[in-house]
């Protein structure tokens, strides 16, 4: 390999620049910025360029010359056909500050198409992950000794037991706020006693499951995505594959099962805290006795509402864990991808939980509502 060289020949009326050697990334003088500055200074005098002595040139050398020429061909240029075509290809690539501009009519279609393709890709990934989980369950049913009890119990503790304080606090405060605002309206019409109906149905059936889903998606879902994503960055998942350990059986399945078990229990816990908060607020605001509240609640809130809330909890827990693990496995080996996939995981989990809750509310509109 011959190093790239620059020679200048001054003639009577003009200046000639002779380039020779190998103009490749490995042979060009370092730093490249100094070489580019030298070429720009020579190009400012509009000289005659002679590139016929260049033996080899790669895209780095072509880009360097094209940028030094101001992204246009010089007036006088002697160059071999092969090098000419290389620089010509380089010139067709948009440079800095020259983004590819698509027609305005196609911009909207391209955006929608990109979002649709991303949605389909994620949906296919979720279906594939779900299928793998079913295969893992079938394997564990035939080989109970392979059940990852430690992973399951660890995830159950992290996503369930450690979430009890924050869910109780949020549930209690929501019950207080809802009771306080409802009391202001009900007292206007002399319907104070109906606050038990309002609090019981709204908290047990809707607010409890949705609040827990949002909290768990932001707390446990993001932690699951980040944990699996860090394992992707540090190549721990590849190490598991090398040792013959199933990543879905050891990482995904315990998280999905643990959160599916913990979520309905958290829903009951949060709903109970919300009822207690509403009862305390109703007693302070409307002088409604605790005994009346406790005696009236099971009469006006059928137990089917509790089953609906717990069923939503199971569905939310399964979907949140599945989505969190899916986006965790899609993390690329860099920190930017880790943060982006974690954010996408939380947003997607909350959106899916609200959509499922809306569908469930429509399907169960005639169940558990006393006439």
209-222: pLDDT as tens digits: 999 999 999 999 99
The values of phi and psi at residue 275, to 5°, are -65, -40
Give the pLDDT score at 326. Answer: 92
- In the chain, what is the straight-line distance between the N-terminal and C-terminal CA atoms, in Å? 90
Residues of the chain with pLDDT under 70: 1, 12, 94-105, 370-371
At 133 the three-state DSSP class reads: helix
Q: How many alpha carbons fall within 13 Å on the CB side of residue 58? A: 8
In Å, how far are 126, 137, 156, 247 from 255, measured between CA atoms?
Answer: 15, 13, 8, 12
| pLDDT the model gives residue 250 | 86
How far apart are alpha carbons 40 and 70 in whole angstroms? 8
Query: What was the pLDDT predicted at 215?
Result: 94
Angle separating helix axes 303-329 and 335-363, nearest 10 degrees: 160
Count of beta carbons in the 10 Å neighbourhood of residue 85: 12
Q: How wide is the angle at C-alpha 207 spanned by C-alphas 224 and 161, nearest 5°?
A: 40
Give the per-residue pLDDT at 101: 57
CB 224 within 8 A of CB 326: no
Nearest-angstrom CA–CA distance, 29 and 365 = 75
Could you give all domains of the chain from N- to C-terminal order, each with its CATH number? 5-91 (3.30.750.24), 150-363 (no CATH)
Each residue of 87-135: pLDDT tens digit?
Answer: 888 877 765 545 555 566 677 788 888 889 988 998 999 999 999 999 9
| Longest Cα separation, the chain | 110
DSSP of 304-341, one letter per residue? HHHHHHHHHHHHHHHHHHHHHHHHHHT--SSHHHHHHH
Q: What is the pLDDT of residue 370?
A: 67
Token representation of residue 166: 């924050």
Determine if residue 138 is left, alpha or beta; phi over 0 gives left, psi from -120 to 50 gives alpha, anything else beta.
Answer: alpha
């Amino acid at each position: 390999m011959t190093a790239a060289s620059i020679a200048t020949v001054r003639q009577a009326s003009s200046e000639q620049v002779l380039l020779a050697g190998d103009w490749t990334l490995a042979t060009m003088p370092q730093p490249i910025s100094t070489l580019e500055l030298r070429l720009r200074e020579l190009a400012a005098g509009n000289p005659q360029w002679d590139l016929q002595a260049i033996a080899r040139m790669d895209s780095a050398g072509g880009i360097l010359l094209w940028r030094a020429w101001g992204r246009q061909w010089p007036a006088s240029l002697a160059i071999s056909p092969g090098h000419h075509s290389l620089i010509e290809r380089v010139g067709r690539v948009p440079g800095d500050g020259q983004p590819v501009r698509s027609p305005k009519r196609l911009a909207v279609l391209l955006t929608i198409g990109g979002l649709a393709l991303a949605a389909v890709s994620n949906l296919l990934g979720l279906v594939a992950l779900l299928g793998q989980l079913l295969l893992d369950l079938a394997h564990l049913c035939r080989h109970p000794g392979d059940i990852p009890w430690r992973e399951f119990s660890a995830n159950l503790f992290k996503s369930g037991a450690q979430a009890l304080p924050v869910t109780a606090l949020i549930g209690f405060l929501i019950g207080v706020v809802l009771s306080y605002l409802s009391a202001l309206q009900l007292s206007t019409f002399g319907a104070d006693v109906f606050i038990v109906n309002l609090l019981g149905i709204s908290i047990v059936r809707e607010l409890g499951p949705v609040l827990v889903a949002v909290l768990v998606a932001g707390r446990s879902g993001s932690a699951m995505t980040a944990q699996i994503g860090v394992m992707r960055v540090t190549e721990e998942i590849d190490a598991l594959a090398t040792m013959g350990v199933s990543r879905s059986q050891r990482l995904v399945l315990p998280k999905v099962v643990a959160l599916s078990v913990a979520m309905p229990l958290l829903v009951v816990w949060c709903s109970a805290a919300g009822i207690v908060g509403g009862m305390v607020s109703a007693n302070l605001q409307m002088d409604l006795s605790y005994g009346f509240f406790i005696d009236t609640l099971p009469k006006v809130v059928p137990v089917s509402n509790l089953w609906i809330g717990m069923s939503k909890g199971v569905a939310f827990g399964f979907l949140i864990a599945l989505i969190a693990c899916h986006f965790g496995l899609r993390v690329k080996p860099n920190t930017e991808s880790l943060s982006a996939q974690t954010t996408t995981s939380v947003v997607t989990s909350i959106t899916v939980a609200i959509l499922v809750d809306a569908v469930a509310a429509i399907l169960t509109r005639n169940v558990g509502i006393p006439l």
